[in-house]
Amino acid sequence: MMSQIETIVTEVKKAQTTARNQVERALAKAEQITEYHALLSLTAERALQRADDIDLAIARGESVGKLAGVPFVVKDNYLAFGAPTTAASKMLENFDAPLQATVVEKLEAEGAICIGKSNLDAFAHGGSTENSYFGVTHNAIDESRVAGGSSGGSAVVTALDVVPFALGTDTGGSIRQPASFNGVYGIKPTYGTASRYGVVAMASSTDTMGCFAKSAEDVALVMSIMAGRDERDMTTLPDFFDSTVSAQPGRRIGVIKEMLDDGVDRDVVSVTRQYIDRLVAAGHSVTEVSMSIIKYALAMYYVIVPAEISSNLARYDGVRYGHRAENAKTLAELYGRSRSEGFVTENKRRIMVGSYVLSSGFFDAYYLQAQKARTLLIQAYNELFDQYDFLLTPTAPTPAFAIGENANDPVKMYLADAMTVPPSLAGLPAVNVPAGMSSNGLPIGVQIIGPAQSDAVILSLAGQLDQVDGGTR
């Protein structure tokens, strides 16, 4: 059976449909779901022009790319033409990108067409898309609940079939957790898989560029195009992403038992156990393993990531670009007021924590200590991967929570990241796989984690399982 993306590309190339048709359909669908507040802008004019160019090339018998005529959405922290790049902040409310992100260029070179930009927590700081300066995004399955975050908008447009794929960024869970909350696939690739160039930086040592789609196969196809070395991002790896690899039978899978303990929602535990049964039925061997250091990962993350944020966000001073406060009398006042007005509370909280842990008096006690612990975490993963091919945990401790439920309690909000943060600190690939539903009908996902550069194999494993039993949806 052909995947959603393959079907579109095949039909566009055979002129059974047109790229214009696909774009018009996606734009119309986007207009029908405005109450979810998943999109911050549409890039309709540019998208339709690009669609016509592709249709013309096909009519002339010219070759078109692997994603010819496929509409997609980018999270609004990717620099892209056709609408401002806001990072869902007042700081960048009117920022028109002077260039496009490398991965957007790569997708466009294969004929994909960006139709709009999705909502996020401002500067990607958050796990619910409630921190957007422009308002909250609603969950695709239950509008009274959060979309997850920070890439909430991209998850929702994928779940509601506006587009067959959407881009997100994942620093500590921002693709996997909203994928889990909305019942779609989402990948945080191996650190360095796809270029970060032209994407608003959050925490440079864990920022990754990934995507959402309705099948593992489509995620793999899109990632194989995004992947590869970029001279403008020196952390990128040479292209290793082979979307045609398939997972061997009889894999050894370790389930991290600390991630199924008492604090985890009962439905999440039972859906994870059912997924384990499906893995066993498919002939894989599944063993419970312990990884005691994992309980400190959240503490490491919320020291290291704010430190990097405070440094990356220093560039927004109201001078070169971004919001500038009016009538400031001194330079210090200009900096202070521009930043105070341009950032949301959560941005400021992280800048303050980050500056604190990097300050000379506390650097050794917090930042250095967290980096040492991070090395131990990486070693613990390495030891497990000597014995297991993959590791499994739920993606999040609960299904989507209610809008407002955690909004005023940052620590409660951070706890929602407990399962997604550990692979981020270790740079490992991890995929959210829709695995089932809670008793009240909310999607629940499991997270499959693999050794570095096993991204395509993880996706294959998940895809095979969906084909065996037809998946859960």
CA distances from 455 to 45, 153, 193, 242, 424 (A): 35, 24, 9, 9, 14
224 near ligand GLN, rule: CB under 6 A: no
Q: Using the 8-state DSSP alphabet, how is residue 401 labeled? A: P
Least Å from the CB of residue 298 to ligand GLN: 10
Report which secondary-structure segment, H or E, holds 437: strand 430-437
From the list 75, 106, 188, 214, the catalytic residue is 75
Least Å from the CB of residue 261 to ligand GLN: 21
Output b/e per residue, 32-65; b: 16+ Cβ within 10 A: ebeebbbbbbbbbebbbebbeebbebbeeeeebb
From the list 118, 128, 132, 174, the catalytic residue is 174
The position carrying tokens 């005023």 is 408
208 near ligand GLN, rule: CB under 6 A: no
Number of other residues whose CB lies within 10 A of the CB of residue 11: 17
Binding-site member from 6, 217, 258, 417 for ligand GLN (CB under 6 A): 417
Helices (H), 116-209: 152-159, 176-182
125 near ligand GLN, rule: CB under 6 A: yes
Q: Among residues 167, 229, 222, which one has the least CA distance to residue 192? A: 229
Whether 150 is catalytic: yes
Least Å from the CB of residue 179 to ligand GLN: 12
From the list 150, 224, 454, 460, the catalytic residue is 150
Least Å from the CB of residue 409 to ligand GLN: 13
Whether 174 is catalytic: yes
The position carrying tokens 């016509």 is 52
Binding-site member from 12, 54, 141, 202 for ligand GLN (CB under 6 A): 202
Number of other residues whose CB lies within 10 A of the CB of residue 266: 9
Site string for ligand GLN, 348-387 (x = CB under 6 A): ----------------------------------------
173 near ligand GLN, rule: CB under 6 A: yes
CA distances from 181 to 173, 197, 224, 287, 398 (A): 12, 28, 25, 26, 9
Only one of the segments 66-74, 163-171, 234-242, 386-394 lies at the binding site for ligand GLN (rule: CB under 6 A); that segment is 163-171
127 near ligand GLN, rule: CB under 6 A: yes
Nearest residue (CB) to ligand GLN, 44 versus 175: 175
Only one of the segments 21-29, 168-176, 238-246, 315-323 lies at the binding site for ligand GLN (rule: CB under 6 A); that segment is 168-176
Contact of 468 with 282, CB cutoff 8 Å: yes
Give, as ranges, the residues between 253 and 282 that touch ligand GLN (CB under 6 A): none
Nearest residue (CB) to ligand GLN, 217 versus 308: 308
Whether 75 is catalytic: yes
174 near ligand GLN, rule: CB under 6 A: yes
Q: Among residues 263, 364, 262, 366, which one has the least CA distance to residue 305? A: 366
Least Å from the CB of residue 126 to ligand GLN: 5
153 near ligand GLN, rule: CB under 6 A: no
Q: Using the 8-state DSSP alphabet, how is residue 228 labeled? A: S
289 three-class SS: strand
Give, as ranges, the residues between 85 and 104 that touch ligand GLN (CB under 6 A): none
Q: Among residues 85, 66, 68, which one has the least CA distance to residue 77? A: 85
150 near ligand GLN, rule: CB under 6 A: yes
Alpha-carbon span 419 to 429, nearest angstrom: 13
**Alpha-carbon dihedral of residues 91, 93, 94, 96, nearest 10 degrees?**
90
Least Å from the CB of residue 428 to ligand GLN: 14
Binding-site member from 69, 71, 126, 394 for ligand GLN (CB under 6 A): 126
Binding site for ligand GLN (CB under 6 A): 124-127, 150, 169-174, 202, 305, 417
Active-site annotation, residues: 75, 150, 174
